[in-house]
Every structure is written in structure tokens, then in C-alpha cells.
């Protein structure tokens, strides 16, 4: 887990970087957002709302203002 790798930097110098630092396996317990949403309609609405923060299409998330300041 504390594996360090030697890689070449863009200028050719060797540098040490961390290897895999995650623990393998599956998460335990229920997904919290799924426990709150019971119907398919609620789940789709949640996902559509979350998508607007990640997708640049004509949506207004926290990163883009509807009206310029």
C-alpha cells in the first residue's frame, strides 16, 4: 500500500511518486442518496439536478451565472 514508484518527469528527471493508496473492496452499507429516494421518478430528478453541475449544456449550476454580475 505504501508503494512508491520512480517515474520520469517532463524534463527527464527521475521523481518518486506514490503508488496505489486505496483499499480494495466494495463500500459497506447502503448508498445514502438511494435510501432517501424511494421511487424511480425521485431518483431521476436527483440525477438530472446533479448533472447540471457536471455537464456544460445550457444549465445553471454554481459555476455559471444566469445573469452576469
Between CA 22 and CA 51 the distance in angstroms is 26
Predicted local distance difference test score (pLDDT) of residue 15: 92
**Run of H or E including 67:** none
- The pTM assigned to this predicted structure is 0.34
Per-domain residue ranges of the chain: 30-58
DSSP line for 9-60: -TTS-EEEEE---SPPS---S--HHHHH--SHHHHHHHHHHHHTTT--SS--
Mean pLDDT by 10 residues, the chain (69 residues): 82 88 78 80 84 59 61
Amino acid at each position: 500500500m505504501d508503494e512508491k514508484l520512480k517515474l520520469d518527469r517532463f524534463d527527464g528527471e527521475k521523481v518518486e511518486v506514490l503508488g496505489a493508496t486505496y483499499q480494495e473492496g466494495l463500500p459497506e452499507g447502503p448508498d445514502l442518496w438511494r435510501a432517501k429516494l424511494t421511487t424511480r421518478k425521485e431518483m431521476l430528478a436527483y440525477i438530472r439536478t446533479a448533472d447540471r453541475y457536471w455537464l456544460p449544456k445550457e444549465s445553471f449550476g454554481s459555476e455559471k451565472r444566469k445573469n452576469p454580475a
